[in-house]
Structure 1
Amino acid sequence: MLKGLARIWFCWSFPTMLKGLARIWFSRLTPNSIDTFKELSAQFASYFIRGYKYKKSTTCLISIKQWEDEVLRSYIAHFNKEALLIDEADNKILVAAFTNGLWKDKFLFSLYKNDPKTMADVLYRATKYMNADDALLAHEEKPKKRER
């Protein structure tokens, strides 16, 4: 059981310890609606045990764009993070949204050239493209002189 200052510290610091969906859930609680930690625990368990997920519409994927200085690997990560918040996203929509957000470069050209049908196909081809790009960059680096 927490006493005095420890209880006050815990109440103020608790929200800062939450991440992701737990933080979103906590921020949506009505202020002063919970009196005890036991109540907080029960509401938390009830909310997350029933499998509720913060749902987004597939239309939000259309707004995701690759930033000007963003590498493909980073764009894939931030696109996938958003796509995971969507229930039952259709492969055609995922592929269209992903390609729509890409910068116009050789990878986008290769996707249009050989129309991918699934997001798994897009990610497989993106991995091959990134690996080839990394290999070319490594090949371009000049070897240092060896000391004898």
Structure 2
Amino acid sequence: MCRAFPTTLKGPIRIWFSRLTPNSIGTFKELSAQFALPFIGGHRYKKSTACLMNIKQLEDETLRSYIAYFDKEALSIDEADNKILVVTFTNGLRKGKFLFSLYKNDPKTMSDVLYRATKYMNAEDALLA
């Protein structure tokens, strides 16, 4: 098993393993500790809902692209609360008619927000056409 182990490694991990000094590691615990050091930087940490507060719609950014970016970031958060998603999404919107309509008729879920955003975007597209 120990001789077959190196054949299962690929890429940078294989290079790291081949550079180990022969007989320098005596136990699996030592191997684990040595392995974690060079690759710990590549570990992806879970994001919190607080990072959604930093997402803002830019002046020249369309509502469609803002929604796409916000959705991508929201999906990377485990167990994001629906109320927090609505608040952070609304907080990031730039001032305008859509934001006013959201404040006028307070949406309860992110689905409500996205439904209304779709209607708003379709109306904008129709007016531009």
Q: Normalising by the residue count of structure 2, what TM-score does the alignment of the two structures yield?
A: 0.68
Q: Any stretches of 5+ residues in structure 2 without a counterpart?
A: 1-9, 19-42
What RMSD in Å do the two structures reach over aligned CA positions? 2.6
1:79-116 Cα offsets, whole Å, 9 max, x none, are 11110100000011000000000010000000001100
- The percentage of counterpart residues that share the same residue type is 75
Q: Following the alignment from structure 1 to structure 2, what is the Cα–Cα distance between the partners of residues 61 and 137?
A: 31
Separation of aligned partners in 1, 2:85 and 2:46: 16
SS in structure 1 opposite 2:16? coil
CA distance in 2, matches of 1:96, 1:79: 12
Are the counterparts in 2 of residues 65 and 102 from structure 1 also a CA contact under 8 Å? yes
Aligned to 2:104: 113
Out of 113, 116, 122, the residue aligned to residue 122 of structure 1 is 113
Distance 1:97 1:34, change over 3 A: farther
Give the aligned length. 97
Q: Is the 8 A contact 1:54 1:85 kept in 2?
A: no
Aligned partner (choices 76, 80, 86) of residue 85 of structure 1? 76
Which residue number in structure 1 is paired with residue 127 of structure 2?
136
Q: Which residue of structure 1 lines up, in the alignment, with residue 47 of structure 2?
A: 56
The residue type paired with residue 86 of structure 1 is I
Higher relative contact order (CA 8 A, sep 6+): 2
Local SS of the residue matching 2:108: coil
Q: Select which of 37, 52, 57 maps to 1:66.
A: 57
Query: How many angstroms does 1:34 deviate by?
Result: 4.0
The structural deviation recorded for 1:55 is 1.6
Between the aligned partners of 1:103 and 1:124, the Cα distance in structure 2 is 18
Task: Tell me the TM-score normalized by structure 1.
Answer: 0.59
CA distance in 2, matches of 1:77, 1:34: 41
Question: Aligned residue for 1:33?
Answer: 16
Who is 1:97 aligned against? 88
Equivalent-residue separation in structure 2 for 1:101 and 1:34 (angstroms): 46
